[in-house]
Amino acid sequence: MLTEVHVPGDASAAALLVAAGGTALGGGTLLMPWLNDHASEPTELVSLRRAGLAEIRVNGSRVTLGAASTLFQVERDVRLAVLNPVVRSIASVPVRNLATVGGNLFAPQPHGDLAVALVALDAQAGVVDEGGPRVASVQDLVTDERPSGLVTDVGFDIPGPMEFRYVKASRRRFNSASLVTVAATFTQADGVVEAARIALGGVGPRVVRARAVEEALVGRPLDETTVRAAAEAGLGEISPVDDAYASAWYRRRVFPVHLRRALLGH
């Protein structure tokens, strides 16, 4: 296999190379093992190392993560405490030193836990393609079978205190894929849920936006009865499969438990 590596000096040049058929290379934690394990046609890689996409910006409550910023950068940034439990649930320290925000968006389930959290946070992604720059919802990117363009950054608003919840169930602490991942943002008034946005990982071929769960929560008190009904509604939205980590039956069985833990904390 012949592999050529391009190292463009900016995002526009990188986007042109990707549009011409190159494959974006961030930390390589997913792509390089795949290339090593699978014979393929001659491959052109587009390294983002010098493309200027590793900056993290926080302006008030607005966060912008460069697509090439690493999970380690996110983990160590005190301004991003909301994402700390998310990134610490992913892989291990050596992997987080390399893995990037943009790469995690396209990690196949049951991986890609940051993508699950970003869908719950209603994150938007900057994308550059042949038509120029545009903005796309992270939800659309991670559920599109064939996304196009180069992701340059991801932005979201930091939620208020206790408005974001995250739980990942896995077999072991490090380097383990998700059995069930739940990320949720919601607001309450007088004990009643006003708005909710729920994303799930590990329970389907892609990240699931759990709209039936959201509908079951809104307008009701956040208590055991409400969450039990929401979990029942959510069972109709998930389509887990058997894999090396768990059976589809087991994932369906424990989904209500982890939804309750995420929303109620127990």
What are the pLDDT digits (tens) for 205-241? 999 999 999 999 999 999 999 999 999 999 999 999 9
Looking at the structure, do residues 170 and 149 belong to the same domain, yes or no? no
Looking at the structure, do residues 38 and 66 belong to the same domain, yes or no? no
- Supply the CATH number for residue 255's domain: 3.30.390.50
Q: What is the pLDDT of residues 2-57, one digit of tens each?
A: 678 899 999 999 999 998 889 899 998 888 887 777 656 657 899 999 999 999 99
pLDDT of 145 reads 76
- Supply the CATH number for residue 7's domain: 3.30.43
Question: CA-CA distances (angstroms) from residue 239 to 115, 141, 180, 202, 247?
Answer: 18, 19, 12, 9, 11
Model-level pTM greater than 0.85? yes
Looking at the structure, do residues 43 and 90 belong to the same domain, yes or no? no
In this structure, the number of other CB atoms found within 10 A of the CB of residue 53 comes to 25
Looking at the structure, do residues 69 and 152 belong to the same domain, yes or no? yes
Looking at the structure, do residues 227 and 194 belong to the same domain, yes or no? yes
Q: For residues 176 and 169, what is the distance between their CA atoms, to the nearest angstrom?
A: 9
In this structure, the number of other CB atoms found within 10 A of the CB of residue 117 comes to 30
Expressed as residue numbers, the domain containing 244 is: 164-264
Strand runs labelled E in the chain? 3-6, 23-25, 43-47, 56-59, 62-66, 124-129, 132-137, 150-157, 164-170, 178-189, 192-201, 208-209
Angle between helix axes 224-234 and 248-264 (nearest 10 degrees) is 150
Looking at the structure, do residues 106 and 172 belong to the same domain, yes or no? no
Give mean pLDDT, residues 136-154.
90
Total tally of structural domains belonging to the chain: 3
Looking at the structure, do residues 36 and 60 belong to the same domain, yes or no? no
Q: What is the pLDDT of residues 175-188, one digit of tens each?
A: 899 999 999 999 99
Q: What is the pLDDT of residues 110-141, one digit of tens each?
A: 999 999 999 999 999 999 987 889 999 999 99
